[in-house]
Amino acid sequence: MKTDRVEGPILPEFPDASSFSRIRLGELLGSLSYALDITGGQSEGHSVRSCWIGMQIADALRLSKEQKTDLYFMLLLKDVGCSANSAKTCEIFRTDELAIKKGFKRLDRSKKQNLPFALKHLGRGAGPGAKISAAIGVLGKTGKVTRDLVQTRCHRGAEIAAMMRFNRHVADGIQGLDEHWDGKGQPYGLAGRDIPLFSRIALLAQVVDVFHEEFGPHAADMEVAVRKGKWFDPMIVEAFLKCSNAPGFWDVLRSPGIEQIVFSSEPAHQYRAVDDTYLDEVAMAFAYVIDAKSPFTHGHSQRVSFYADLICQERGYGPQKRRWMRRAALLHDIGKLGVSNMVLDKPGRLTDDEFRQIQRHATMTQQILGRISAFGSMATIAAAHHERLDGTGYPNGLTAVDLTEDMRILAVADIFDALTADRPYKGALPLAQAYEIMDSMAGTGIDPDCYGSLKSAVVQHDLFAGETALRTA
Ligand SMILES: [Fe+2]
Ligand SMILES: [Fe+2]
């Protein structure tokens, strides 16, 4: 192992605790909702726009201030469980699940629409044999397949909302998102007013946004009219029409300023102060969202956070900086939400195009975290976890002179977990073998001092004494 220290730039400033208190919860979760949009194959800003539409309906229905606050966060987080069924969707449909999810939000789920949709998407890019086999598998049990997928998403979404300390109204609203007024929705076939009010509002809001984005206001209005009394509560439809017929409704919806309108609206300030403890909880909740995307990444973000923290401790980082680094590690792979599981979970060799898609996740991490003003420098550090000292990494081919100690720590923690964690198709490497690989990278790919700190921490904390301790954590 080379032990020469490769010098990097001076550490950037990181925000102190007082700057976090300036973050509005609406801005924080609204910015993170862009990650949920890409997980669901929707256009950027879908959750934010759905939130605005839903809040207009809430005003028309004269909901109370408390109801509006809950509804606001329910709308921003409506797709928070979306990553939990990505791998399964991909496995069942044998195609890019982002395209499936995007198309699924446009279907009215009638047999007339389901059949052509399934035939168009099933086994896309596969040979005729695989396509037919996928079609037989799915079309023979469409109801059960979609119910299971919806159930996974809704339950996981409700759980994650509860992790972020949102109340039952928010969690129930997320859980009931796919129920339809006529009782033909999923997963439980609830009907009429048995469906939570927030779910009824959110369902209409998301359909309006999807159709408006793709086909314009007239198509959105038409879809609402067609689904009135079937998917949609007639009372919500009436409230929506009151709003959409008002001057300027569609102009605001398509204006670039809509994000600011949503982030600065009254509910964005409500609920609770965003302090350090709460930011930790939000980062942890989103780490669950990220890791749920693929069986390959189960628990990865949490373990990288754990290893990064150990390295930081070894290197004398203070408590506040360690906390900040743990969050960066928890969110470092958030961009993976925008990469199809067809690529993420592919067992064999990746094509050049697939590798480019994988590489994009680091750039998307930067874009998503960079939306949150107080996360600015964290975004840059999190996005550099695949960069290497010798410039062979991605996405920007940075070299030693560009890579800060924080970036180097994250890279070491990420590689260490990738080697030592159990994954489908690839068992965990024994510690000695993982070290052998990392020894060969030290000084060229990874920072030898940060790597040395990891090794010291592993010994000090007796981490791999049983060789299985952390893999099942
Ligand atoms: Fe990554
Ligand atoms: Fe990673």
pLDDT in tens, 221-237: 999 999 999 999 999 99
pLDDT of residue 151: 81
Q: How far is CA 244 from CA 7, 71, 318, 472, in A?
A: 59, 19, 53, 52
Report which DSSP code applies to 442. B
Out of 68, 228, 336, 455, the active site residue is: 336
List Cβ neighbours of 202 (8 Å cut-off, separation of 6 or more).
Answer: 50, 54, 74, 75, 78, 173, 177
Q: How far is CA 315 from CA 241, 381, 452, in A?
A: 60, 17, 10
List Cβ neighbours of 346 (8 Å cut-off, separation of 6 or more).
Answer: 354
For CATH 1.10.3210.10, the residue range(s) in the chain are 25-83+148-269, 276-460
Distance 418 CA to ligand 1 centre (A): 10
Mean pLDDT rounded to a whole number for the chain? 85
Please tell me which of 256-270, 297-311, 420-434 the model is most confident about, judged by mean pLDDT: 297-311
- What token pair was written down for 25? 């919860």
Q: Between residues 292 and 466, which one has the greater pLDDT?
A: 292
Q: Is the pLDDT of residue 339 over 70?
A: yes
- Spell out the long-range contacts of 231-235 with Cβ–Cβ below 8 A and sequence spacing 24 or more: 231/108, 231/180, 231/181, 231/182, 231/185, 231/203, 231/204, 231/207, 232/180, 232/181, 232/200, 232/203, 232/204, 233/181, 233/192, 233/193, 233/195, 233/200, 233/204, 234/181, 235/61
Q: Between residues 143 and 347, which one has the greater pLDDT?
A: 347
pLDDT of residue 467: 67
The answer to which of 122-126, 387-391, 398-402, 437-441 has the lowest mean pLDDT is 122-126
Distance 333 CA to ligand 1 centre (A): 5
Find the ligand nearest to 414 CA: 2
Whole-angstrom Cα distance, residue 163 to residue 170? 12
pLDDT of residue 297: 84
Distance 332 CA to ligand 2 centre (A): 6
What is 276-460's CATH superfamily?
Hypothetical protein af1432 (1.10.3210.10)
Residue with token string 């966060």: 73
pLDDT of residue 199: 97
Q: Is 327 left (phi over 0), alpha (psi -120 to 50) or beta?
A: alpha
Q: Is the pLDDT of residue 294 over 70?
A: yes
Distance 443 CA to ligand 2 centre (A): 20
Residue with token string 């070894």: 314
Whole-angstrom Cα distance, residue 377 to residue 28? 15
Question: Residues 166-193: what's their mean pLDDT?
Answer: 94
pLDDT in tens, 54-84: 999 999 999 999 999 999 999 999 999 987 7
Confidence of residue 427 (pLDDT cuts 50, 70, 90): confident
Q: Taking a C-beta distance cutoff of 8 angstroms, is the pair 176, 153 a contact?
A: no
Q: Taking a C-beta distance cutoff of 8 angstroms, is the pair 57, 235 a contact?
A: no
- What token pair was written down for 397? 């081919």
Q: Between residues 101 and 62, which one has the greater pLDDT?
A: 62
Find the ligand nearest to 410 CA: 2
Question: Residues 358-376: what's their mean pLDDT?
Answer: 90
List Cβ neighbours of 210 (8 Å cut-off, separation of 6 or more).
Answer: 42, 46, 105, 106
pLDDT of residue 430: 92
pLDDT of residue 87: 63
Distance 414 CA to ligand 1 centre (A): 7
3-state secondary structure of 315: coil
Question: Residues 108-121: what's their mean pLDDT?
Answer: 56
List Cβ neighbours of 297 (8 Å cut-off, separation of 6 or more).
Answer: 290, 291, 333, 336, 344
Confidence of residue 102 (pLDDT cuts 50, 70, 90): low
pLDDT of residue 246: 94
Find the ligand nearest to 344 CA: 1
> Taking the model in full, what pTM does it have?
0.85
pLDDT in tens, 9-54: 444 445 544 445 567 888 889 999 999 999 878 899 999 999 999 9
CATH of span 25-83+148-269: 1.10.3210.10
Question: Residues 312-331: what's their mean pLDDT?
Answer: 96
Is 111 tagged catalytic? no
CA dihedral 85, 91, 93, 95 (to 10 degrees): 100
Q: Is the pLDDT of residue 299 over 60?
A: yes
